[in-house]
Amino acid sequence: MADFVTVGKLSEVPPGERLVAQIGRTWVVAFNVGGTIYALEDQCSHEEYPLSDGFLDGTELECAKHGARFDLRTGKNLTPPALVPVQYYEVRIEGDDIQVKI
Q: Applying CB under 6 A, which residues contact ligand FES?
A: 44, 46-47, 49, 63, 65-68, 81-82
Query: Whose Cβ is closer to ligand FES: residue 6's or residue 26's?
Result: 26
Nearest approach in angstroms of CB 91 to ligand FES is: 22
State the first-to-last Cα distance of the chain, in angstroms, to the nearest integer: 9
Query: Whose Cβ is closer to ligand FES: residue 77's or residue 99's?
Result: 77
Nearest approach in angstroms of CB 72 to ligand FES is: 15
Q: Sign of the CA dihedral 58, 59, 60, 63?
A: positive
Nearest approach in angstroms of CB 73 to ligand FES is: 19
d(CA 93, CA 74): 18
Query: Whose Cβ is closer to ligand FES: residue 13's or residue 64's?
Result: 64
Nearest approach in angstroms of CB 57 to ligand FES is: 15
d(CA 74, CA 59): 10
